[in-house]
């Protein structure tokens, strides 16, 4: 949901739009170890929360309301008039950005998570959300935040959602340009040819050539700077110093894969 409001660091509305109207060429692969660690941490954080609050959370529930759907890490289920109801949704987080989180017990959390839990509250009809975070900046610390449902935020989510689905239903791309990674990953139809805007082609070609020239100039200036150092690691100048120290770098193996590269061919 944060992507639709321009608050996500990993996606924008254009990315989400592409995910609805196109098929990906390949699914994003998540490292098995990272996935296992994430699953383990989420479970451990929710276990801590259960013990801290004296509750039992129901894990990994999905809720749908019209075109909206939300997956939750956990929920606190309470009795209802006819059926059980969701008293609160619970979201587990791990963060090293301690400065973005307020004191435990407050509602001072990053804005993108406020949107996330309000989306979950709308779909689950809950009136409250808890965000439990394991902070890892200096040592480790658990903090719990209580977010009361705010109908103004819910209304804003619904309005933004209506706008987004208008783009999807009419196959009209939103104003936000999707990330290059998203566009490159659209599944292509072999041998299919379409007409493209010559102005866009020329603009890309010119900018790319200027970029390559700037890279060449950068390498030349870099070499000239190192030449001035001669066989030294440090060079001093009026107002500062230049350092050229060695540092260890971990090795890695690039798995075999197939990549696409953009090439412009002018025929006239």
| Residue 63: pLDDT over 70 | yes
Give 211-229 pLDDT, tens digit per residue: 999 999 999 999 999 999 9
In three-state secondary structure terms, 145 is: strand
The answer to whether residues 93 and 116 touch, using CB atoms and an 8 Å cutoff, is no
- How many alpha carbons lie under 13 Å from residue 135 in its C-beta half-sphere? 18
Model confidence at 90, pLDDT cuts 50, 70, 90, reads: very high
- How many alpha carbons lie under 13 Å from residue 212 in its C-beta half-sphere? 5
Give 120-141 pLDDT, tens digit per residue: 999 999 999 999 999 997 889 9
Spatial CA neighbour of 73 closest among 113, 42, 32, 41: 42
Q: What is the pTM assigned to this prediction?
A: 0.79
Spatial CA neighbour of 145 closest among 96, 98, 92: 92
The answer to whether residues 77 and 87 touch, using CB atoms and an 8 Å cutoff, is yes
**pLDDT score, position 26:** 74
**Residue ranges of the alpha helices (H) in 90-195?**
111-124, 151-169, 180-184
SS3 of the chain: helix, strand, coil, percent, to 5: 40, 20, 40
CATH number at 2-184: 3.90.320.10
| Domain segments of the chain as ranges | 2-184
The answer to whether residues 178 and 14 touch, using CB atoms and an 8 Å cutoff, is yes
Give 166-208 pLDDT, tens digit per residue: 999 999 999 999 999 999 999 999 999 999 999 999 999 999 9
d(CA 226, CA 240): 16
């Amino acid at each position: 949901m944060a992507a639709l409001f321009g608050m996500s660091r990993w996606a924008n509305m254009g990315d989400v739009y592409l995910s609805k109207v196109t098929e990906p060429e390949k699914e994003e692969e998540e490292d098995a170890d990272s996935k296992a660690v994430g699953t383990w941490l989420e479970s451990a954080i929710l276990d801590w929360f259960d013990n801290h609050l004296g509750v039992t959370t129901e894990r990994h529930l999905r809720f749908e309301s019209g075109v909206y759907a939300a997956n939750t890490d956990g929920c606190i289920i309470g009795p209802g008039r006819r059926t059980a109801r969701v008293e609160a949704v619970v979201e587990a987080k791990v963060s090293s950005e301690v400065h973005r989180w307020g004191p435990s017990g407050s509602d001072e959390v990053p804005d993108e998570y406020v949107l996330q839990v309000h989306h979950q509250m709308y779909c689950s009809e809950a009136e409250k959300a808890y965000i439990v975070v394991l902070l890892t900046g200096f040592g480790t610390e658990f903090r719990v935040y209580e977010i009361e449902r705010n109908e103004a935020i819910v209304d804003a989510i619904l309005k933004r959602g209506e706008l987004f689905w208008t783009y999807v239903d009419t196959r009209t791309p939103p104003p936000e340009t999707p990330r290059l990674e998203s566009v490159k990953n659209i599944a292509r139809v072999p041998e299919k040819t379409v007409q493209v805007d010559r102005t866009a082609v020329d603009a890309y070609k010119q900018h790319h050539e200027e970029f390559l020239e700037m890279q060449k100039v950068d390498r030349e200036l870099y070499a000239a700077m190192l030449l001035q150092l001669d066989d030294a690691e440090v060079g001093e100048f009026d107002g500062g110093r230049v350092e050229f120290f060695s540092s260890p770098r971990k090795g890695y193996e690039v798995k075999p894969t197939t990549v696409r590269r953009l090439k412009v061919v002018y025929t006239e």
